[in-house]
């Protein structure tokens, strides 16, 4: 039932987005914050390719916060793509403007409540969080004004006329052996305190010694500073595996071997009303 429903979503959403674009064309996804293996970007690309479009992903996430938008802007200006999908709020306005200047169709992809998320970022000084939240709201407003189309990751993020593209996994990307290690626990995603990094260690420490925790994903600096001291204090350092960030296929192939998947989001404004998309991926990987 899950596979059938997901396949329906994938094809339906791909063609709904395709119909919004009216005809087959070359599309560029240009990002200043996401890596080329980002699941949502690749999911959107696969939906569109399945509908017959030519799609490229251009990432400048390895550059600084000032240089990345400049490089991304140059890419938008020189690209021969007819439509440009912009998934980063700090690049909504400039990216859409540059696309308009070159006669391209800008599409902004809103996949978070950015004002709420800004209030939850540990790297933003507390005194600046209200200001950053207002800036985030302004960037979305300007992006909407300049965009040709708007896609959102959840209905609650949208307005009339937006296209909802859910983060539902394509079952074709989850064709694994599904042999289970009964004592393996997995988490896939960004490893941060707000996403339960230390809570996962506490959970592991409460289990017998044969249980192992596999944490797949990039670790925030704040979480990294606390993970090892906490694991050492709990006596579980040798029961934690940290392979770092893996591409989509490798990450979920490794996850498919685990018996349990963790999703321990904290009760923050950004997460309170959200359904974590990794739940669907855990289901798809068995």
Residue range 191-215, pLDDT digits in tens: 999 999 999 999 999 999 999 999 9
* Average pLDDT across the chain, whole number: 86
Predicted confidence at residue 19, as pLDDT, reads 59
What is the model's pLDDT at position 122? 65
Beta carbons of 47 and 85 less than 8 angstroms apart: no
8-state DSSP, 168: P
Give backbone dihedrals phi and psi of 206, rounded to 5 degrees, phi first.
-85, -5
Return the number of other C-beta atoms located less than 10 Å from residue 33's C-beta.
17
pLDDT of 14-64, one tens digit each?
A: 555 655 656 788 999 999 999 888 888 888 888 888 888 999 999 999 898
Please name which of 215, 211, 210 lies closest in space to residue 189, comparing C-alpha atoms: 215
Q: Given this model, what pLDDT does residue 4 score?
A: 41
């Amino acid at each position: 039932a899950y596979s059938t429903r997901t396949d329906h979503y994938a094809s339906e959403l791909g063609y709904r987005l395709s119909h919004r674009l009216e005809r087959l064309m070359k599309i560029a996804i240009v990002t200043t914050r996401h890596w080329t293996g980002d699941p949502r970007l690749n999911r959107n690309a696969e939906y569109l390719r399945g509908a017959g479009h030519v799609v490229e992903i251009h990432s400048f996430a390895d550059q600084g916060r000032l240089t990345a938008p400049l490089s991304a802007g140059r890419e938008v200006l020189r690209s021969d793509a007819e439509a440009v999908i912009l998934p980063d709020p700090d690049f909504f306005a400039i990216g859409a403007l540059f696309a308009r200047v070159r006669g391209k169709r800008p599409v902004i992809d809103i996949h978070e409540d950015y004002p709420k998320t800004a209030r939850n970022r540990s790297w933003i000084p507390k005194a600046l969080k209200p200001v950053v939240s207002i800036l985030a709201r302004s960037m979305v407003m300007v992006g909407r004004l300049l965009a040709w189309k708007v896609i959102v990751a959840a209905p609650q993020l949208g307005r009339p006329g937006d296209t909802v593209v859910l983060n539902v996994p394509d079952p074709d990307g989850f064709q694994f052996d599904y042999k289970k290690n009964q004592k393996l626990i997995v988490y896939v995603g960004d490893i941060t305190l707000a996403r339960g990094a230390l809570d996962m260690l506490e959970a592991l420490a409460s289990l017998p010694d044969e249980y192992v925790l596999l944490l797949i994903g990039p670790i925030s600096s704040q979480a990294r500073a606390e993970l090892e001291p906490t694991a050492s204090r709990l006596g579980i350092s040798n029961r934690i595996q940290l392979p770092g960030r893996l591409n989509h296929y490798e990450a979920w192939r490794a996850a498919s071997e685990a018996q349990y998947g963790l999703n321990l989001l904290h009760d923050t404004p950004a997460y309170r009303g959200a359904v974590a998309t990794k739940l669907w991926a855990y289901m798809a990987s068995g």
